[in-house]
Amino acid sequence: MDINYVSSLLKEFKAGGLSLDEALEKLKILPYEDLEFAKLDHHRLLRQGFAEVVFCQGKTVAQVLAIMDRLAAYNRNILATRATPEMYEAVKNSMPDAKYHELARLIAIERQPPPADQDRVILVMSAGTSDIPVAEEAAVTAEMMGNVVRRVYDVGVAGIHRLLDQRKLIEDANVLIVVAGMEGALVSVVGGMAAKPVIAVPTSIGYGANFGGLSALLSMLNSCAAGIGVVNIDNGFGAGRLASIINHMR
Amino acid sequence: MDINYVSSLLKEFKAGGLSLDEALEKLKILPYEDLEFAKLDHHRLLRQGFAEVVFCQGKTVAQVLAIMDRLAAYNRNILATRATPEMYEAVKNSMPDAKYHELARLIAIERQPPPADQDRVILVMSAGTSDIPVAEEAAVTAEMMGNVVRRVYDVGVAGIHRLLDQRKLIEDANVLIVVAGMEGALVSVVGGMAAKPVIAVPTSIGYGANFGGLSALLSMLNSCAAGIGVVNIDNGFGAGRLASIINHMR
Amino acid sequence: MDINYVSSLLKEFKAGGLSLDEALEKLKILPYEDLEFAKLDHHRLLRQGFAEVVFCQGKTVAQVLAIMDRLAAYNRNILATRATPEMYEAVKNSMPDAKYHELARLIAIERQPPPADQDRVILVMSAGTSDIPVAEEAAVTAEMMGNVVRRVYDVGVAGIHRLLDQRKLIEDANVLIVVAGMEGALVSVVGGMAAKPVIAVPTSIGYGANFGGLSALLSMLNSCAAGIGVVNIDNGFGAGRLASIINHMR
Amino acid sequence: MDINYVSSLLKEFKAGGLSLDEALEKLKILPYEDLEFAKLDHHRLLRQGFAEVVFCQGKTVAQVLAIMDRLAAYNRNILATRATPEMYEAVKNSMPDAKYHELARLIAIERQPPPADQDRVILVMSAGTSDIPVAEEAAVTAEMMGNVVRRVYDVGVAGIHRLLDQRKLIEDANVLIVVAGMEGALVSVVGGMAAKPVIAVPTSIGYGANFGGLSALLSMLNSCAAGIGVVNIDNGFGAGRLASIINHMR
Amino acid sequence: MDINYVSSLLKEFKAGGLSLDEALEKLKILPYEDLEFAKLDHHRLLRQGFAEVVFCQGKTVAQVLAIMDRLAAYNRNILATRATPEMYEAVKNSMPDAKYHELARLIAIERQPPPADQDRVILVMSAGTSDIPVAEEAAVTAEMMGNVVRRVYDVGVAGIHRLLDQRKLIEDANVLIVVAGMEGALVSVVGGMAAKPVIAVPTSIGYGANFGGLSALLSMLNSCAAGIGVVNIDNGFGAGRLASIINHMR
Amino acid sequence: MDINYVSSLLKEFKAGGLSLDEALEKLKILPYEDLEFAKLDHHRLLRQGFAEVVFCQGKTVAQVLAIMDRLAAYNRNILATRATPEMYEAVKNSMPDAKYHELARLIAIERQPPPADQDRVILVMSAGTSDIPVAEEAAVTAEMMGNVVRRVYDVGVAGIHRLLDQRKLIEDANVLIVVAGMEGALVSVVGGMAAKPVIAVPTSIGYGANFGGLSALLSMLNSCAAGIGVVNIDNGFGAGRLASIINHMR
Amino acid sequence: MDINYVSSLLKEFKAGGLSLDEALEKLKILPYEDLEFAKLDHHRLLRQGFAEVVFCQGKTVAQVLAIMDRLAAYNRNILATRATPEMYEAVKNSMPDAKYHELARLIAIERQPPPADQDRVILVMSAGTSDIPVAEEAAVTAEMMGNVVRRVYDVGVAGIHRLLDQRKLIEDANVLIVVAGMEGALVSVVGGMAAKPVIAVPTSIGYGANFGGLSALLSMLNSCAAGIGVVNIDNGFGAGRLASIINHMR
Amino acid sequence: MDINYVSSLLKEFKAGGLSLDEALEKLKILPYEDLEFAKLDHHRLLRQGFAEVVFCQGKTVAQVLAIMDRLAAYNRNILATRATPEMYEAVKNSMPDAKYHELARLIAIERQPPPADQDRVILVMSAGTSDIPVAEEAAVTAEMMGNVVRRVYDVGVAGIHRLLDQRKLIEDANVLIVVAGMEGALVSVVGGMAAKPVIAVPTSIGYGANFGGLSALLSMLNSCAAGIGVVNIDNGFGAGRLASIINHMR
């Protein structure tokens, strides 16, 4: 981040050469910090309401550490996804308040949790026990972004009464995240039960012709229930982020 | 069919050179009629309980006509699938009692309907109205093979109460055929409701990423409910045939 | 629809045997009308906020007409998607106030347009001119469900200045629908510009290795920008419906 | 499981407020036990004739153990599929009568084997020796659900006489399970030999363009023999379950 | 073709500057005729034993006519594949002895049929009647290249006795061409019956998940019988050509 | 296009408020003309060296006409790809100097052909006659953008001498465009013959398992020869454009 | 193998009850040995000219050992493919004359090498060094089945002179096996050079969009050169077997 | 390499039997060195401007060592791609000046770096940090072939300002290499910003439905920006090579 740029910008604002709106606008768009192997978008917090999230897959431990270190200098809450235990070890040494959500493979630093509206609940549902890691990635992401999250796991449609039993929870929720592998039918049944935004997350759980989650993905895209937005296979983070954006709308 | 062969075989039987079982066995396995472009398996009726069924796709009108003509010489009930109206016109000229099921694209000649057990019902369900042509192919096939068939159409899971309302019909049925396109979720919900054989038929109905029925096919193969056998996309005939075989078991 | 059932239910309510909530609850779940080839979910209006929408593909003209006729008996606003001109002719004869959106292939009957909040705008963007039919399907759907819709077409990323020029419109919108074929990159750029719900609609526009929209679909699912929900290829209706649900949240 | 619910239900039955049928009906549909990460469907035994089966893939050892422990409290016979040796070790410690079928990767607890009709045999055939693990999963599943099972392995069609030699076994069987990898041709030949339900199980055995079992799967779906129901790739359990349901029909 | 080049080459040969072998060698490699839109490889007859074959798909009628016209100037026997009736009309006008094989879509000019060894028979088998057009493309191709061809059609494995009945024909043949759609199982059974070269031709006949012939193609590539060479889907010509090459080996 | 904006910009430049570079820079980035259904990027000529090219597929005739009409107001040379004869008729009425390249499906208006360097030749090669339409799309595109183009068609590798014979042409060329369907092997052989940029264009020509050009596409991407850039299937325009850009480098 | 059956059969022959032909015929078709997990086809030697070959993938070490042990009791030469070093260790203990071809993963026991015709050479060519393991599987297989094999490796088309240099070897060969990964273009060039049977073996060598050998497979199936038979990806054994069958034709 | 051949060739040249051009021509085409498992194309340096590059995947350590050893005898600069650390260890022992680029998995021997034109810069851009290994493979390859390379990493389109900020670098570059995984949108935005050759490299970075890089590959092939050549997934080497060829054009 070019500190000089921001300085001069702020001085100009103080001197009246920039209105408040103009200054905010400029801050929203420009600066980032260049680490050579990464360009940190420090002002994403302003533009998108949450700091840049580190996608760890394919990065070296050293890269993850350096990026989180720099993000920590400008933000109070930081999230890293698809993190290995080894990455967590390195991060914890440098930032002892980092927490590791093992199932969800998330590293989280939460120094000043954002406030959450208790009346607007995000409900995370999973079809099976095996889908829980992805569901947790979604749930923890949404919590860190300032949302109240409720979880209902293992309510797949083969035992429809388990699902119908959750009708009250579904009606009380503001946004639904539905996580399912295999044939992903849970999404269609839930989608037909309520007029709420449903975010569908296909998982790679299953075997044979599920082809790494393709079966659930195609199912969800082709759902006979309208009002469903689908994210990538196993992309709990994306679902949590989208749910949070919707949930913060006024 | 080599009529001489059968004659000598029967004479041998009469003369005591063959036991009844031996004669039946021989009749079961050997003869067929050679039309050059087709080899008619006239004794399929003995071996499989129903005459050879004509799959019309890719055949010329003349071929379909010749095959049906020869089959009619040896069988009372004949079925042709994927038949065009043009084929039907040709067949009707020669066999005026032929009937055309337009939606299902079947030509049927039924001179001596096989008896059907009224207590053993095959229930054919479709998720949507658009799936009816395939469902009808299954239903008519099963009827022609001597089964009582009930139909319940347009009970997709997006309106789960429409489906739950059919519980009584499902419990009263002996075998279930579930026909669905799009995401095919109906199969999983039905499969979880009863311990009956469920035959799942994916259809090519849908658009976008249904990829000609692939989405429904993968859904059904990956169903979280056990006890489901899947047939080919749009293969109503295969489903009707399998249901009939199961329904005739004692 | 079992009119007797509803009668007795209402009488019971009047007599005090049911509270208001109980009556609403019962009405929400049960009745539908059985046309044999279709089961009309008349109370979807109560449960989901809009009447059942007719998906015309794979249905006969007669079926579409009968369904719309019955829906018209219970609803003021009706929508049919993927309708052919031939279907529209039949519908118009029976319901002269039906309108045909030719590009979007929608039949719409709008006798009592639902009120729309002028401050909550849904912005529909298309990457190219060829994507407009799908974009219009989304836009008209959202309008019929009571939303103010703005359209910005042909702002694909190959001329990034055309897109950046729309920043004000993007910031003023409440929900974004982004329609794109080919490589669908528009979604990622828009997704990175604002913290709003982005509904991504891949189209089948393109040639060669777009494989009927697969390229845009995979692009959107794999977008590096978070906060994106994807619907099926060419599924403008689904996008309009989801956008409307989100836009009506309070 | 809500024990209070069941208590009150039973009391009501005793007091005459519920008929026997009504009580059974209610028990069939409602209760399950909530372990947070899993919702155990204890009454599946009533509804489907066999207790819930544990699909171990994607679950932690602790989860598998807890689920089996609770199931064991309510059922005499329990089955877990896709179990690792490590899971078995944990289960055996807690339930010493658990048995591990190594090839089939099944954990089985069989305290009160269900009775099996000796005259109704399920015949499990495999095309090759390498398909045996999947075939065994099917066979053991069927046995645990109360069926007599016979096995004929390595009868692939490249040596057709080995298969024709099994004609007697095929004729004596009630239901056929055919397990094959590579090109799965065994299904079509067997399907043409007898009018019995054939359950086809494609396996992932093979190399090159078998694409993880896709070649066998497509073969079986496209079989020229009618009367075949296909299950997912390597899904021996599903085949055994379906065969058992069919075999128990009267 | 550069006629001067050949002239000088031949003169040099006559004058003794080139041995016979050298002259043949040069003729084998170099000349072709340039029509701008096509480069006719007139000496393919020398190099490969048969003149260049015209693949008509994607060519205009005028191009096909011009190419055949030039080929006819240098060759006695000419073959064009995937020819439309319209192309044939144009060709017949110019070359009245051209013949059209309608089913096989071949145009053939045969002015001096090559001699065929009566003891070396190519047997062309088809699984179904619908596969005959592809089988005929193979058969006619092989005949034009100087082979005795026998045909056996409609011997699919669902009626295995029809196939076993052909054992004598199979044993008498020198090379086998097996044409099959759907699941293509015929190839594996035939491949296991004899130690002959088997050329497998998948066809696009079938429906649903045959995916344009993919099911038969994968089946044949994964055949459990060894000694099978596969050609492209519906490529009867390629099969006939390969069979002819093998059949002419000494 | 906001003509006022450009006016004021130019006035400012004249008055000295903008340097030449600044003025050019501003012109390069901002203006476009808004036709509602299309946003014409009139300054693409400055930024990319050629006016916006109209991709006609999926557009209505009226849209194509309106776009070309507006482009013609600001540019001397205009190109439209994937144009139908019907579109051409409409355009010719309004712009009589428009020319239609039927094979290549291009509409071209060339009022002031850009100069072309005679020493820098782009060589367009096709493997077969059937690939010529795509090859012509590439060739005409390159010519319109100011390049000398040479064509060599029907030099597929099955007659390698026809190809080796073109060595001189290959060596004399500056950039190579290689167009091939089926297995696309021509690219690898040409790629190994010279150290020139090779632009590979897979075509959808072929049948059976070419899967609409997938076989040639994968071949070219996996070419064992380095130095090859691949464009989309049948994308002659893209190849011509890329070749032109490379050919104009100094 | 039912030794009694063979005994009685031979006695009957001796006694004149069977002619020589009849005896051979019966021996050709019936006997095999049943190991429960495998049915050994001991008379494949008579029927197909070589003993059953063991496909080791998916079998346990104990199964491989038992099968080879039994085969060794009836045959002099035995081949096992896809064998691991661990399997070889077990086999060598029991049959010390077993040899391991490490690259090709073959176990070979050759006690009486079949005679090979020195004038009929099979030429095995590979496009790259990395394809050698598959090429060796083909070469060793052919040698064990009584053929003279020559190898030419690393002659891919990117250096076409390396390939043209082998013209003499190609002309001297009787059958060609061409092994190639990546884009597999070698097959088309070789196929155009000579009128010999070409057996094409795609390999999984390559990266990125070769998709496990799919690119080479599709290339070879779509080859513009006729006279090519393709085997499965990496299936060196199948190629060697087919080449041997062709090479033994008279 | 046949040293005698070159000797006689040169003698002939000296004696006047060959002109200089003829001698060069002959040297360009013929010689290579035969290591049995590899045929080294030593004169590729003459023909293509750089020595043969070793593709290590699928080769044994011994093979890599032997090939590099021989190449080192005739060339000053050598490159090996996809090399493991183990291969590097072996090479370093024999050639101590070998360098290992760990991220890029390249072994490089650079004894006489080729001169590079400082005014013609190749710019390598990556969308994310995780794409750097592939980007480095491209960058190092281009550097070794005599080019000045600049790198800009982590400028994906989700933060468009980071990319727009690089406009100056883009304008100063001669050739662009754009490396991106996930949805690969960076290519389209960059492609629209400048009229330079853009070489697009899809990477396998991402998860879920990126299917090993397929999403980025299809995106890039379908880019709405013209002037883009795509190489194989993760093929940094190919991109560097193509960029170098283009960059050396005059």
Lowest mean pLDDT of D87-101, D139-153, G28-42, G173-187, name the range: G28-42
Tell me whether residues H129 and A63 touch, CB distance under 8 A: yes
Q: What is the pLDDT of residue D193?
A: 87
Q: What is the DSSP string of H47-111?
A: HHSSPPPEE-TT--HHHHHHHHHHHHHH-SEEEEES--HHHHHHHHHH-TT-EEETTTTEEEEES
pLDDT at E103 over 80: yes
Which residue in E129, E131, E209 is closest to B217 by CB distance? E209
Spatial contact of G180 and G127, defined as CB atoms under 8 Å apart: yes
Nearest CA in chain B to A159: B192
The minimum CA-CA distance between E55 and chain F, rounded to whole Å, is 9
Q: What is the pLDDT of residue E150?
A: 97
Helices vs. strands in chain E: H and E counts, helices first = 11, 11
Which residue in H156, H158, H224 is closest to C183 by CB distance? H224
- The segments of chain C whose pLDDT lies below 50 read 1-3, 29
Q: Rounded CA gap, H236 and H226, in Å?
A: 21
pLDDT at E32 over 80: no
Interface of E with B (CB under 8 A): 128-133, 153-155, 159, 161-162, 165, 181, 205, 207-211
Which residue in C227, C232, C245 is closest to A195 by CB distance? C245
List helix spans (H) across chain D. Answer: 3-14, 20-29, 44-48, 61-74, 85-94, 132-144, 160-164, 167-172, 186-193, 214-221, 236-247
Q: Rounded CA gap, F27 and F239, in Å?
A: 28
Q: What is the pLDDT of residues D31-65, one digit of tens each?
A: 567 777 787 776 666 666 777 899 999 899 999 99
Assess whether chains B and D touch, using the rule of 3 or more C-beta pairs within 8 angstroms.
yes
Tell me whether residues H162 and A39 touch, CB distance under 8 A: yes
The minimum CA-CA distance between A105 and chain D, rounded to whole Å, is 15
pLDDT at A83 over 90: yes
Lowest mean pLDDT of E43-57, E156-170, H223-237, name the range: E43-57
Question: Residue G208: helix, strand or coil by DSSP?
Answer: coil
pLDDT at D181 over 60: yes
The pLDDT of B101-121, averaged and rounded, is 93
Q: Mutate which of H131, H170, H222 to disrupt the C interface (most C C-beta within 10 Å)?
A: H222
Interface of G with D (CB under 8 A): 29-30, 32, 36-39, 41, 44, 55, 57-59, 63, 67, 82, 202, 204, 212-214, 217, 232-235
Q: In what order do the strands lie in the sheet with H198-202?
A: F148-153, F121-126, F175-180, F198-202, F228-230, H228-230, H198-202, H175-180, H121-126, H148-152
Q: How many CB atoms lie within 10 A of CB G3?
A: 9
Lowest mean pLDDT of A194-203, D119-128, E43-52, name the range: E43-52
Mean residue pLDDT of chain B comes to: 87
The minimum CA-CA distance between E244 and chain D, rounded to whole Å, is 25
Tell me whether residues D39 and A128 touch, CB distance under 8 A: no
Contacts of C48 in chain A (CB under 8 A): 194-195, 227
Q: What is the pLDDT of residue E10?
A: 60
Q: What is the pLDDT of residue H43?
A: 63
Which residues have C-beta within 8 Å of that of residue E237, sequence separation ≥ 6? E53, E81, E106, E137, E138, E141, G226
Spatial contact of E77 and E144, defined as CB atoms under 8 Å apart: yes
Lowest mean pLDDT of C177-186, E73-82, H27-36, name the range: H27-36
Q: DSSP letter at G42? A: T
Tell me whether residues E129 and B235 touch, CB distance under 8 A: no
The minimum CA-CA distance between G30 and chain D, rounded to whole Å, is 6
Structure tokens at A115: 């406030």
Nearest CA in chain C to B183: C232
pLDDT band for position F228 (50/70/90)? very high
pLDDT at A172 over 80: yes
Q: Rounded CA gap, E57 and E63, in Å?
A: 11
Indicate the pTM of the whole model: 0.90
Lowest mean pLDDT of A215-224, D173-182, F119-128, G24-33, name the range: G24-33
Tell me whether residues B208 and C233 touch, CB distance under 8 A: yes
Tell me whether residues E162 and B217 touch, CB distance under 8 A: no
Q: How far is CA F51 from the centre of its chain?
A: 11
Q: Rounded CA gap, C58 and F24, in Å?
A: 56
Question: Residue B172: helix, strand or coil by DSSP?
Answer: helix
Q: What is the pLDDT of residues B206-226, one digit of tens each?
A: 888 889 999 999 999 999 888
Residue D192 has φ and ψ, to the nearest 5°, of: -85, -15
Spatial contact of G128 and G156, defined as CB atoms under 8 Å apart: yes
Which residues have C-beta within 8 Å of that of residue G238, sequence separation ≥ 6? E226, E227, E228, G201, G231, G232
Residue G103, CB half-sphere, CA atoms under 13 Å: how many?
A: 18
Q: Which residue has the tokens 């379950």?
A: D241
E strands, F7-103, where? 33-34, 39-40, 54-55, 77-81, 99-101
Q: Mutate which of A25, A28, A35, A39 to disrupt the H interface (most H C-beta within 10 Å)?
A: A39
Q: Rounded CA gap, F31 and F20, in Å?
A: 17
Whose CA is closest to B84, among B106, B63, B99, B53? B106
Q: What is the pLDDT of residue H20?
A: 66
The minimum CA-CA distance between C133 and chain H, rounded to whole Å, is 18
Tell me whether residues H195 and F229 touch, CB distance under 8 A: no
Q: What is the pLDDT of residue C3?
A: 46
Lowest mean pLDDT of B26-35, C55-64, F210-219, name the range: B26-35
The β-bridge partners of D108 are D79, D99
Q: In what order do the strands lie in the sheet with A99-101?
A: A54-55, A77-81, A106-110, A99-101
Contacts of E212 in chain F (CB under 8 A): 211
Nearest CA in chain C to F42: C159
Q: Mutate which of C52, C232, C250 to disrupt the A interface (most A C-beta within 10 Å)?
A: C232
Nearest CA in chain E to B202: E208
Positive or negative, the CA dihedral D51, D56, D57, D63 is: positive
> Using CB atoms, which chains have 3+ pairs under 8 A with H?
A, C, F, G
Interface of D with B (CB under 8 A): 47-49, 53, 174, 193-197, 199, 217, 221-222, 226-233, 237-238, 241-242, 245-246, 249-250
Q: What is the pLDDT of residue E8?
A: 67
Whose CA is closest to C31, among C12, C8, C53? C8
Lowest mean pLDDT of C5-19, F216-230, H100-114, H127-141, name the range: C5-19
Q: What is the DSSP string of G48-97?
A: HSSPPPEE-TT--HHHHHHHHHHHHHH-SEEEEES--HHHHHHHHHH-TT
pLDDT band for position G45 (50/70/90)? low
Letter string b/e over residues F2-11, b meaning 16 or more CB atoms within 10 A of that residue's CB: eeeebeebee
Spatial contact of E239 and E168, defined as CB atoms under 8 Å apart: no
Q: Which fold has domain D121-248?
A: Rossmann fold (3.40.50)
Q: What is the pLDDT of residue D2?
A: 42
Q: What is the pLDDT of residues C126-156, one digit of tens each?
A: 999 999 999 999 999 999 999 999 999 999 9
Nearest CA in chain A to D62: A129
Tell me whether residues G32 and D161 touch, CB distance under 8 A: yes
Tell me whether residues E197 and G245 touch, CB distance under 8 A: yes
Structure tokens at F87: 């579109």
Tell me whether residues G207 and H67 touch, CB distance under 8 A: no
Spatial contact of A54 and A81, defined as CB atoms under 8 Å apart: yes
pLDDT band for position D1 (50/70/90)? very low
Which residue in D128, D153, D209 is closest to G232 by CB distance? D209
The β-bridge partners of A136 are none
Tell me whether residues G224 and F185 touch, CB distance under 8 A: yes
Q: Rounded CA gap, E240 and H30, in Å?
A: 37
Structure tokens at A34: 């260049």
Q: What is the pLDDT of residues H165-221, one digit of tens each?
A: 888 899 999 999 999 999 999 999 999 888 899 999 999 998 888 899 999 999 999
Spatial contact of A139 and A199, defined as CB atoms under 8 Å apart: no
Tell me whether residues C208 and F67 touch, CB distance under 8 A: no
Whose CA is closest to A173, among A224, A202, A139, A136? A139
Q: What is the pLDDT of residues B116-159, one digit of tens each?
A: 999 999 999 999 999 999 999 999 999 999 999 999 999 999 88
Q: How many CB atoms lie within 10 A of CB B30?
A: 17
Lowest mean pLDDT of B8-22, C143-157, E159-173, F160-174, name the range: B8-22
Q: How many CB atoms lie within 10 A of CB D250?
A: 8
Positive or negative, the CA dihedral G53, G57, G59, G64 is: positive
Q: Mutate which of B219, B223, B228, B230 to disrupt the A interface (most A C-beta within 10 Å)?
A: B219
pLDDT at D164 over 60: yes
pLDDT at F51 over 90: no
Q: Mutate which of G198, G219, G232 to disrupt the F interface (most F C-beta within 10 Å)?
A: G219
Which residues have C-beta within 8 Å of that of residue G43, sequence separation ≥ 6? G27, G28, G29, G30, G31, G32
Q: Where are the domains of chain H?
A: 18-110, 121-248
CA distances to B41, B110, D194 from B47, in Å: 10, 20, 7
pLDDT at H239 over 80: yes
Q: How many CB atoms lie within 10 A of CB F24?
A: 13
Whose CA is closest to E71, among E103, E104, E111? E111
Residue D182 has φ and ψ, to the nearest 5°, of: 45, -115
* F99: region left, alpha or beta (phi > 0 left; psi from -120 to 50 alpha): beta
Which residue in D154, D181, D211 is closest to G37 by CB distance? D154
**pLDDT > 70: percent of chain A:** 86
Q: What is the pLDDT of residues G217-244, one digit of tens each?
A: 999 999 988 889 999 999 999 999 999 9
Spatial contact of A209 and D201, defined as CB atoms under 8 Å apart: no
Burial class (CB in 10 A: 0-12, 13-18, 19+), D79: buried
pLDDT at F2 over 50: no
Q: What is the pLDDT of residues A43-68, one digit of tens each?
A: 666 666 777 899 999 999 999 999 99
Question: Residue A65: helix, strand or coil by DSSP?
Answer: helix
Whose CA is closest to C218, among H205, H219, F232, A221? H219
Burial class (CB in 10 A: 0-12, 13-18, 19+), B102: exposed
Tell me whether residues C226 and A242 touch, CB distance under 8 A: yes
CA distances to C207, E200, E230, G125 from E221, in Å: 30, 9, 7, 21
Tell me whether residues E37 and F161 touch, CB distance under 8 A: no
Q: Rounded CA gap, C193 and C187, in Å?
A: 10
